[in-house]
């Protein structure tokens, strides 16, 4: 008997139909006696790493004295949910009768980890082969079954996934307990995670960049000559008087054209989609959340109309080139725009599209050629976006001519520029696709306007004027721009090629970033205001509490992600990565324990899921629970919160900017989240002091 284990029941049904295992049983499909195949499934994760209390009773209660928690050997367990335990028993029973197992999990790091844990826990002893596909079409499934690989070829992929899970456990479990017990009020949990905390730090940093931004007015010169507006080059005036003097000076002189230059240029089609760029585009166009886009593209994949979605490359491998004409030919709804391509003797093959060296497990997201008639609602919009991007990749570049006119009046240089589209090329596909906001943005872009003919040396009267402007703060993150910031470890990068090069140092993986953002929303560390992502008071306070850069640095998290990718490639040892994290966790515990601050902050939300590493089990943290602490199923015991009293009349003696707060055990500064660590313990300055008595005592000191 050959047992196939898939990650979802729907995929199991597709594979079973193709293999002839069409008899539905309880938890699996089987075929007639002549069919050797049995097909079963998981529901994503059936197993997880053991929780602290599974290793020793000492770790059941949350206690600073037991940190760091570092098991001598990590173990796994079946997630204690009835439907999961039932399906696991089905897999376990079938696997003991199997002569061969075929791992049909999702073709990625997480898929490999899910299946390996289930097979390990089930005690699979027979040979295991790996089924790997980028598409769930019948043709792709048959081809993949004809090209099964030994499980050993995917060992590095598994080790990378295992290292990621252990790393998240080590940091999440220890840091969450440490910070909750040290800094949070009773019953509240400060959730810390290897990826979520640096992501939150990016949002909080942007919050303060905007809050502390001081706008400044400045003035620029414009002048109108022959109905064209010219802008002064390199001239910004801090004082309006200086700008007015310049206008008065140049108004007396004619504007003389000093140079007219035309330059032909080309714009290549946009790159194919990886998951992040797809989420960014959908957020920009329609305001969809990253999680919403991920769910939709996963549905398109399972409906066989697009390829595997959880990818981080915008390239296709070279072997796909030969398959493109058939895919284009099968895209019947787009026959009008694919016909010119199919009429070519040979499709163009660009290095910006086809590059096997940029493809590892999967290529960019493209249509499979299957009819999209099964799609509904937003699925249709998403498919259309992907289909047009794929077709555009084989269209000619957009050809244009840029005209730049330089001029001078008195001692001030001016410039006007415009663009003429000579051949729209791929842009012709998008003529009817522009949203109203995009069209308005184009109209406002002076560089895209069409200029009348100018001649070098011509001159004439002009109408100078002053334009008042104000410096602008950075913009709040949207989900789209936050995804880009996670992808590039917080660096602002517009250049596509540079962004590609930085992906290996990004925060998280394309498949996990949406879940990380949703986790921060769920824990009320951030919230939405229209499209903007805002830092909530709880998130601001949490980041302000964390002094250790290792926990909140996007750069350091990017370095860890790079090492995980190297483990996947076999160029870095998983044992070294885990050893580094164990050392780091121990250092964090020592650093936090050496902090003599007793100031407690109400930043937990009581209902937060427990440590990131175990959130999938659906349990709630309870630092004070007598029935197992973080490992118990109940929520933290709710306690009546005593509000922090604000003493507006008393300025902070240290930073001179904030005012004092009367907390539970000490007085502190209202600017604690911005780095002021001033504290007065109640042992020296009792909580019973009146504001005047406290002021007098501080002044005397």
Of 392, 414, 429, the domain-final residue = 392
Per-residue pLDDT at 436: 46
pLDDT tens for 184-195 read 877 788 999 989
pLDDT of res. 149: 95
What single-letter DSSP state applies at residue 640? P
- 477-478 and 532-535 strand pairing: antiparallel
Q: What is the pLDDT of residues 490-528, one digit of tens each?
A: 776 566 665 565 667 788 888 889 999 999 999 999 999
Select from 354, 374, 392 the last residue of a domain.
Answer: 392
Contacts of 281 by beta carbon, 8 Å cutoff, 6+ apart = 273, 385, 480
Residue 360 lies in a domain: yes
Which pLDDT score is estimated for 637?
Answer: 35
**Which comes out higher in pLDDT, residue 161 or 662?**
161
Answer whether residue 294 shows pLDDT above 50: yes
Percent of the chain with pLDDT over 90: 65
Q: Are strands 37-41 and 2-6 parallel, antiparallel or unpaired?
A: parallel
The terminus-to-terminus CA distance of the chain in angstroms comes to: 83
What's the pLDDT at 497?
Answer: 64
Cα(307)–Cα(299) distance, integer angstroms:
11
Question: Pick the residue with more confidence: 484 or 550?
Answer: 484
Contacts made by residues 253-256, CB under 8 angstroms, sequence distance 24+: 253/409, 253/410, 254/409, 254/459, 254/460, 254/461, 254/462, 255/223, 255/225, 255/230, 255/407, 255/408, 255/409, 255/414, 255/459, 255/460, 255/461, 255/462, 256/407, 256/408, 256/409, 256/457, 256/458, 256/459
640 — pLDDT class (breaks 50, 70, 90): very low
**What's the angle, vertex CA 488, arms to CA 482 and CA 493, rounded to 5?**
90
Q: Which domain holds residue 321?
A: 275-392
Task: Determine the pLDDT at residue 67.
Answer: 92
SS3 content of the chain, % helix, strand, coil (to 5): 45, 20, 35
Helix, strand, or coil (residue 28): strand
Q: Is residue 308 among the annotated active site residues?
A: yes
CATH number of the domain residue 109 falls in:
3.40.50.140
Contact at 8 Å (CB) between 179 and 604?
Answer: no
Judge whether 310 lies within some domain: yes
- Examine residue 73 and state whether it is found in any structural domain, yes or no: yes
Residues 350 and 417 in one domain: no
Residue 683 lies in a domain: yes
Supply the DSSP symbol for 187: T
pLDDT at 614: 35
pLDDT of residue 603: 55
Say yes or no: 78 and 29 in one domain.
yes
pLDDT of 286 > 70? The answer is: yes
Q: Please report, for residues 139, 195, 300, 364, 478, the alpha-carbon distance to residue 320 in angstroms, rounded to integers and kept in the order given.
A: 14, 34, 20, 11, 34
Contact 302, 11 (CB under 8 A): yes
- Nearest alpha-carbon partner for 177 in 67, 335, 56: 67
Asked if residues 405 and 262 have their Cβ atoms less than 8 Å apart, the reply is no
CA nearest neighbour of 156 among 210, 109, 195: 109
Measured between alpha carbons, how far is residue 316 from residues 133, 134, 271, 408, 621 in Å? 14, 11, 11, 50, 44
Q: What is the pLDDT of residue 681?
A: 75
Give 524: exposed, middle or buried? Use CB within 10 Å, 0-12, 13-18, 19+.
middle
Considering only 31-45, 112-126, 420-434, 515-529, which range has the smallest mean pLDDT? 420-434
445/346 same-domain check: no
Q: How confident is the model at residue 673 (pLDDT cuts 50, 70, 90)?
A: low
Query: Do 280 and 386 have their domain in common?
Result: yes
Both 349 and 452 in one domain: the answer is: no
Q: Helices 275-286 and 479-487 sit at what angle, rounded to 10 degrees?
A: 160
Q: Which pLDDT value is given to residue 691?
A: 76
Quick check: is 192 in a domain? Answer: no
Give the C-alpha separation, 608 to 629, whole Å: 14
Domain count, the chain: 4
**DSSP-derived 3-state class of residue 131:** coil
Does the structure show a pLDDT above 60 at 599? no
Residue 231 makes CB contacts below 8 A (sequence gap 6+) with 220, 221, 222, 414, 415, 416, 446
- The three-class DSSP label of residue 223 is strand
- Buried-exposed string 119-149: b where 16+ CB fall within 10 A, e elsewhere: bebbebeeebbbbbbbbbbeebbeebbeebe
- Indicate the residue among 470, 487, 514 that finishes a domain: 470
Q: What band does 664 get if pLDDT is binned at 50, 70 and 90?
A: low
Instruction: Specify the higher pLDDT residue, 583 or 657.
Output: 583
Token pair, residue 655, equals 């930073």
Among residues 374, 366, 429, the alpha carbon closest in space to that of 397 is found at 429
What confidence tier does 621 reach under pLDDT thresholds 50, 70, 90? Answer: very low
Cα–Cα distance, 404 to 451 (Å, whole number): 9
Phi first, then psi: what are they for 152, rounded to 5°? -60, -25
Instruction: pLDDT band for 680, please (50, 70, 90 cuts).
Output: confident
Residue 44: closest CA among 101, 149, 117? 117
Q: Using CA atoms in the order 231, 236, 240, 244, what is the torsion angle rounded to 10 degrees?
A: -40
* Position 40 pLDDT exceeds 80: yes
* CATH number of the CATH domain containing 313: 1.10.290.10
**What confidence category does residue 600 fall into, taking pLDDT thresholds of 50, 70 and 90?**
low
Helix (H) or strand (E) holding 230: strand 228-232
pLDDT tier for residue 636 given thresholds of 50, 70 and 90? very low
Please tell me which of 19-23, 553-557, 611-615 the model is most confident about, judged by mean pLDDT. Answer: 19-23
CATH number of domain containing 239:
2.70.20.10
Across 370-382, average pLDDT: 95
Q: Which of 225, 308, 315, 572 is catalytic?
A: 308
Give the pLDDT confidence score for residue 607 in this predicted structure.
Answer: 38
- 633 pLDDT above the threshold of 80: no
pLDDT of residue 175: 94
Please check whether residue 307 is in contact with residue 136, taking contact to mean a CB–CB distance below 8 angstroms: no
* % of the chain beyond a pLDDT of 70: 88
Q: 465: which strand partners?
A: 222
**Is it the case that residue 98 has pLDDT exceeding 50?**
yes
What pLDDT is attached to residue 493?
58
Per-residue model confidence (pLDDT) at position 674:
65
Q: How confident is the model at residue 477 (pLDDT cuts 50, 70, 90)?
A: very high
Query: What's the token pair of residue 457?
Result: 């040396």
* Helix and strand element counts for the chain (H, E): 22, 23
171 occurs within a structural domain: no
CB-based burial label for 414 (10 Å; 0-12, 13-18, 19+) = buried
Task: Tell whether omega for the bond before 68 is within 30 degrees of 0, i.e. cis.
Answer: yes
Label residue 609 by pLDDT band (50, 70, 90): very low
Degrees, nearest 5: CA angle 133-137-139: 85
454, pLDDT greater than 80: yes
Indicate the SS3 state at residue 533: strand
pLDDT of residue 501: 59
Helix (H, G, I), strand (E, B) or coil at 683: coil
Neighbours of 495 (CB within 10 A): 9
Q: Are 691 and 650 in contact (CB under 8 A)?
A: yes
- Report, as an integer, the average pLDDT of 2-24: 94
Instruction: Kindly state the average pLDDT of the residues 100-121.
Output: 94
Residue 577, domain member (yes or no): no
Mark whether 363 and 281 lie in a shared domain.
yes
Q: Are residues 280 and 327 in the same domain?
A: yes
Angle between helix 510-522 and helix 479-487 axes, rounded to 10 deg? 130
Does residue 34 lie in a domain region? yes
Judge if 155 and 34 occupy the same domain: yes
Clarify whether residues 288 and 388 are in a common domain. yes
Instruction: Give DSSP secondary structure letters for 45-58.
Output: -SEEEPPHHHH-GG
Are 288 and 264 found together in one domain?
no
Q: Supply 406's token pair.
A: 């330089």
Show the tokens assigned to 404.
């730049």
Q: What is the mean pLDDT of residues 210-227?
A: 95
The pLDDT of residue 492 is 62
| pLDDT for the residue 644 | 62
Rounded average pLDDT over 54-72 = 93
CB 117 within 8 A of CB 76: yes
Q: Are residues 302 and 243 in the same domain?
A: no
d(CA 215, CA 220): 16
Same domain, 388 and 406: no
Q: Does the pLDDT of residue 314 top 90, yes or no?
A: yes
- What's the pLDDT at 496? 65
- pLDDT confidence of residue 487: 87
- Locate 365 and state its tokens: 């997201």
Q: What is the mean pLDDT of the chain?
A: 86
């Amino acid at each position: 008997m050959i047992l196939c284990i898939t990650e979802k029941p729907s995929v199991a049904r597709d594979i079973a139909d193709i293999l002839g295992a069409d008899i539905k049983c309880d938890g699996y499909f089987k075929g007639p006696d002549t069919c050797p195949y049995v097909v079963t499934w998981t529901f994503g994760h059936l197993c997880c790493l053991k929780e602290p209390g599974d290793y020793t009773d000492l770790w059941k209660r949350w206690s600073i004295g037991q940190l760091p928690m570092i098991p001598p050997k990590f173990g796994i367990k079946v997630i204690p949910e009835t439907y999961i335990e039932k399906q696991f028993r089905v897999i376990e029973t079938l696997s003991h009768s199997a002569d061969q197992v075929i791992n049909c999990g999702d073709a990625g790091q997480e898929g490999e980890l899910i299946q390996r844990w289930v097979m390990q826990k089930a005690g699979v002893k027979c040979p295991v082969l790996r089924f790997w596909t980028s598409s769930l079409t019948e043709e792709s499934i048959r081809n993949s079954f004809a090209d099964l690989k030994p499980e050993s070829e995917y060992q590095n992929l598994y080790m990378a996934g295992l290292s990621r899970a252990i790393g998240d456990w080590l940091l999440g479990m220890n840091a969450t307990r440490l910070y909750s017990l040290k800094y949070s009020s009773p019953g509240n949990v400060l959730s810390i995670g290897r990826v979520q905390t640096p992501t939150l730090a990016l949002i909080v940093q942007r919050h303060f960049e905007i809050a502390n931004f001081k706008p400044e007015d400045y003035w620029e010169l414009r002048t109108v000559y022959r109905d064209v507006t010219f802008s002064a080059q390199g001239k910004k005036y801090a004082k309006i008087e200086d700008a007015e003097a310049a206008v008065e000076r140049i108004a007396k002189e004619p504007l003389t054209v000093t140079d007219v230059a035309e330059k032909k240029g080309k714009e290549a089609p946009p790159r194919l989609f990886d998951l992040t760029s797809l989420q960014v585009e959908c957020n920009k166009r329609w305001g969809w959340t990253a999680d919403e886009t991920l769910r939709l593209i996963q549905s398109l994949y399972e409906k066989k109309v697009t390829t595997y979605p959880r990818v981080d490359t915008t390239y296709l491998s070279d072997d796909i080139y030969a398959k493109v004409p058939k895919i284009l030919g099968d895209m019947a709804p787009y026959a009008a725009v694919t016909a010119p391509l199919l009429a070519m003797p040979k499709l163009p093959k660009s290095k910006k599209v086809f590059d096997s060296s940029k493809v590892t497990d999967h290529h960019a997201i493209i249509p499979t050629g299957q009819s999209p008639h099964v799609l509904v609602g937003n699925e249709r919009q998403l498919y259309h976006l992907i289909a047009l991007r794929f077709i555009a990749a084989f269209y000619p570049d957009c050809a244009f001519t840029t005209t730049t006119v330089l001029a001078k009046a008195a001692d001030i240089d001016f410039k006007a520029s415009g663009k003429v589209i000579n051949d729209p090329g791929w842009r012709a596909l998008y003529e009817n696709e522009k949203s109203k906001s995009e069209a308005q943005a184009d109209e406002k872009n002076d560089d895209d306007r069409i200029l009348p003919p100018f001649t070098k040396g011509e001159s004439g009267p002009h109408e100078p004027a002053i334009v008042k402007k104000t410096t602008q703060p950075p913009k709040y993150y949207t989900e789209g721009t936050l995804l880009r910031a996670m992808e590039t470890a917080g660096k602002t990068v517009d250049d596509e090629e540079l962004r590609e090069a930085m992906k290996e140092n990004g925060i998280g993986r394309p498949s996990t970033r949406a879940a990380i953002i949703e986790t921060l929303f769920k824990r009320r560390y951030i919230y939405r205001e229209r499209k903007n992502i805002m830092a909530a008071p709880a998130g601001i306070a949490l980041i302000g509490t964390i002094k250790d850069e290792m926990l909140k640095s996007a750069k350091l998290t990017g370095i860890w992600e790079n090492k995980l990718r190297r483990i996947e490639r076999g160029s870095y040892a998983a044992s070294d990565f885990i050893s580094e994290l164990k050392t780091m966790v121990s250092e964090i515990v020592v650093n936090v324990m050496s902090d003599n601050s007793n100031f407690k902050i109400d930043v937990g939300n009581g209902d937060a899921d427990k440590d990131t590493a175990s959130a999938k089990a659906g349990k709630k943290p309870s630092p004070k629970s007598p029935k197992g602490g973080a490992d118990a199923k109940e929520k933290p015991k709710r306690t009546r919160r005593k509000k922090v009293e604000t003493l507006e009349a008393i300025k902070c003696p240290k930073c001179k900017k904030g005012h004092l707060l009367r907390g539970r055990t000490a007085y502190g500064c209202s600017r604690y989240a911005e780095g002021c660590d001033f504290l007065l313990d109640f042992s020296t300055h009792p909580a019973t002091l009146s504001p005047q008595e406290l002021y007098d005592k501080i002044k005397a000191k």
